[in-house]
Amino acid sequence: MGRKLLLDKAHIEGIRYYDTYRKNGGYAAAEKALKSMSPDQVIEEVKKSGLRGRGGAGFPTGLKWSFLAKPEGVPRYLVCNADESEPGTFKDRYLMEFIPHLLIEGLLISSFALGAHSTYIYIRGEYAWIPDILEEAINDAKKNNWLGKNIQGTGYDLEIYVQRGAGAYICGEETALIESLEGKRGNPRIKPPFPAVKGLWQCPTVVNNVETLAAVVPIINIGGDEYAKYGTGKSTGTKLISACGNINKPGVYEIDMNISVEEFIYSDEYCGGIPNGKRLKACIPGGSSVPILPANLLLKTAKGEPRMMTYESLNDGGFATGSMMGSGGFIVLDEDQCVVRHTMSLARFYHHESCGQCSPCREGTGWMKKVLLNIENGKGKMTDIDLLWDIQRKIEGNTICPLGDAAAWPVAAAIRHFRDEFEWHVTHPEEAQIRNFGLAHYADPLPVVATAAAV
């Protein structure tokens, strides 16, 4: 059995409610932090834990916190990023829905460490029912003096507010999120200045993912050193993985980041293998924006060692052979899946979600989508494959925010690893057209399909 730190109590009935959560050890970490530790000690503990941000980029959380500017007389903010809109990623939803107090407790400890007195949970609009769960948890925490004024007699005050987004993927990008929180159009800001210096209302701000903030609770409970014993040197602790696609048991799993990809896909404890005894074709291991890995590279690293479910192993060799841990959205494709169709679906998503501020992303994502639609439907030319490659290359690295990269990488990786499939579509137009995918929807707006359907 894998060791769990976040979902260890998820099976307890009623853990969503304050009394049950408290009876089962809830708010002990908050008590410990607020009553016996200084904010700097909490940050130190998080640094020791080696926790890396769970929102996608994997930046060390303790280090990020220590960058927060602390000018006199200026408020600081903590913002919890619950926008979770990356296709394939649905882990934060599970956490907020089933153990909301874990997030509230994590927010309390983190806000205390950062000296924030107002904290925001920015949640994606489509999670329509979760804000009510969070509001209830916040109210109960407040009734029990874990929020509000003079928390547990420590003199520390904190309010947590829940803000619903209007349903735009780009509002998950931290600066777009801040703009949206300020009531503006969710366009990413140009960095620098970084939010740590000028964030919400131009004040120093930390934006962290739901899972990152929840992980602060076990870190304080067991100590940073103990937490770091989970996982591997560069990927400490446990990680929530949302698994979907062609697997027997889709769902959210908490893994100790010391297991192999093979074990994760095939063991009964996790995905339980591929339905109908089909072979594994490929996998997107970290949410739709990260490069797809073909089976041979997915199970073994470039050096021929087993690939592990860690930041460093999934990224081994950079983009040439590797991929990324990303946000932990694990999408499995069996041998019948069409990579071209799949890539087209993703291109459609990124085109739809581009905010439109910068020219390469605004124009390039739509162009890629249209070329991919042609190829997928047997209307492509051989030169279209090189054209696609060139378009993605001109987007990648040249945009304001990483959405441009997120749109470019899946296309680049698909062509790199599955060029023959693109060529098949071009050389077998009749067969490709019979599949007739997406033609009915050719006129915009196109519906977004997160994972490929069976052929």
Partner 1 sequence: MAEEKKLFKVKIDNITVEVEPGTTILNAARLIGGDVVPPAMCYYSKLQGSGGKCRTCLVKVSKGSDADPRPMPKLVASCRTTVMDGMEVGNITSPEVLDARRGVVEFLLLNHPLDCPVCDQAGECDLQDLSYEHGVSATRYEFKRRTFDKIDIGDHIKLHMTRCILCYRCVFTADQLTNKREHGILGRGDASEISTYIQNSLDNDFIGNVIDVCPVGALTDRTARFKNRVWFLKPVDAHCSCDKCSGKAVLWMRGDEIFRVTARKDKYGEVEEFICDTCRFERKDPKDWTVEGPRKISRHSVISQGHYVGVHKPDETIAKVMDGRAPKLLLDIHSVSEVNMPAVDLSKIDGPAHSNDFPKNKSNGVQ
56 binds, among ligand SF4, ligand FMN, partner 1, none (CB under 5 to 8 A by kind): ligand FMN
Q: How far is CA 367 from CA 249, 363, 375, in A?
A: 36, 6, 12
**The one segment of 47-55, 244-252, 380-388, 397-405 that binds ligand SF4 by CB under 6 A:** 397-405
Which one, of 172, 173, 175, 170, lies nearest residue 193 by Cα?
A: 175
DSSP letter (8 states) at residue 280: E
Q: How buried is 152 (Cβ within 10 angstroms: 0-12 exposed, 13-18 middle, 19+ buried)?
A: middle
Taking CB under 6 A as the rule, does residue 172 contact ligand SF4? no
Give residues 46-105 in contact with ligand FMN (rule: CB under 6 A).
53-57, 59, 61, 64, 81, 83-86
Mark 411-447 as b/e (b = at least 16 C-beta within 10 Å): bbbbbebbeebbeebbeeeeebeebebbeeeeeeebe
> Which one of 214-222, 324-332, 350-358, 447-455 is the stretch in contact with partner 1 (CB under 8 A)?
350-358
**293-294 and 280-284: which strand pairing?**
antiparallel
Residue 185 touches partner 1, criterion: CB under 8 A: yes
Does position 399 bind ligand SF4 by CB under 6 A?
A: yes
Q: Which does 352 bind (CB under 5 to 8 A by kind): partner 1, ligand SF4, ligand FMN, none?
A: partner 1
Using the contact rule CB under 6 A, the part of the chain among 75-83, 158-166, 229-237, 352-360 near ligand SF4 is 352-360
Site string for ligand FMN, 151-180 (x = CB under 6 A): ------------------xx-xxx------
Q: Mark out the alpha helices in 144-259 (DSSP H runs).
A: 174-181, 210-222, 224-228
Q: Which is nearer to ligand SF4, 210 or 401 (CB)?
A: 401
Residue from 17, 319, 367, 424 in contact with partner 1 (CB under 8 A): 367
Which range in 98-106, 217-225, 360-368, 412-420 contacts partner 1 by CB under 8 A? 360-368
User: Both tokens of residue 23?
Assistant: 């009876």
Q: Tell me the number of residues near partner 1 by CB under 8 A.
A: 30
Q: What angle do CA 355, 361, 367 make, to 5 degrees?
A: 115
Give the C-alpha separation, 150 to 156, whole Å: 5
Q: Give me the count of residues in the chain.
A: 455
Q: How far is CA 345 from CA 131, 350, 365, 366, in A?
A: 29, 9, 12, 12
Nearer to ligand FMN, 53 or 294 (CB): 53
Measured from the CB atom, is 340 or 403 closer to ligand SF4?
Answer: 403
Q: Which residues bind partner 1 (CB under 8 A)?
A: 168, 170, 185, 190, 351-367, 370, 387, 393-394, 397-400, 444
